[in-house]
Amino acid sequence: MTAVKAIESVRFRGSSLGAGFAYFDIPDGKAPPIRIKIFVDSPETLHYVRSTLLSYAKGSRLIILGEETPIFDHKGGFKVYEVRAEASPHTLQSIVDQINIRLFDEGGVRGRIFSYGRYVNVFKGVGYPHDVAEEYGLNTHRYEADLWLAHTRQPTNSPGTTPVWSHPFSANEVAVVHNGDISSYGSNLQLLRLAGYLSFVGTDSEVIAFMLDYLLRVKGYSLRQALLILQNPYEYTVSTSNIRDEVKLLMAEARGCQLDGPFTVVAGYCDGRDVYLLALVDRAKFRPIIFGEDDRAYYVASEECQIRCVSPSATVWTPEPSGLFVASLSRGLIQDGSSIL
Query: Which segment of 10-19, 184-193, 263-272 scores lowest on mean pLDDT?
Result: 10-19
At 177-217, the pLDDT tens digits run 999 899 999 999 999 999 999 999 989 999 999 999 999 99
CA distance 8 to 220: 37
More reliable by pLDDT, 230 or 241: 230
12-40: average pLDDT? 91
At 75-97, the pLDDT tens digits run 667 889 899 999 999 999 999 99
What percent of the chain has a predicted confidence (pLDDT) above 90? 65
Q: Which whole-number Å values give the CA distances from 51 to 39, 55, 57, 73, 97, in the listed order? A: 15, 6, 10, 22, 16
Four-residue CA torsion sign, 247, 254, 226, 338: positive
Which pLDDT does position 242 carry in this prediction?
59
Which pLDDT does position 240 carry in this prediction?
52
Give the domains, in start order, of the chain with CATH numbers.
2-32+118-336 (3.60.20.10)
CA distance 174 to 230: 14
- Under the banding of pLDDT at 50, 70 and 90, the label for residue 158 is confident
Q: What single-letter DSSP state applies at residue 213?
A: H
Which pLDDT does position 251 carry in this prediction?
82
Model-level pTM? 0.93
CA distance 224 to 340: 10
| Amino acid, res. 81 | Y
Torsion of CA 185, 301, 80, 34, to 10 degrees: 80
| Pair 115, 136: CB distance under 8 Å | no
Which pLDDT does position 72 carry in this prediction?
58
- Residue 225's nearest CA partner among 326, 75, 305, 156 is 326
Residue 270, pLDDT above cutoff 80:
yes
- Under the banding of pLDDT at 50, 70 and 90, the label for residue 19 is very high
At 91-127, the pLDDT tens digits run 999 999 999 999 987 567 899 999 999 999 999 999 9
246-256: average pLDDT? 83
Residue 307, CB-side half-sphere exposure with 13 Å CA sphere = 21
Residue 176, pLDDT above cutoff 90:
yes
**Opening angle at CA 96, ends 91 and 101, nearest 5:** 130
141-164: average pLDDT? 85
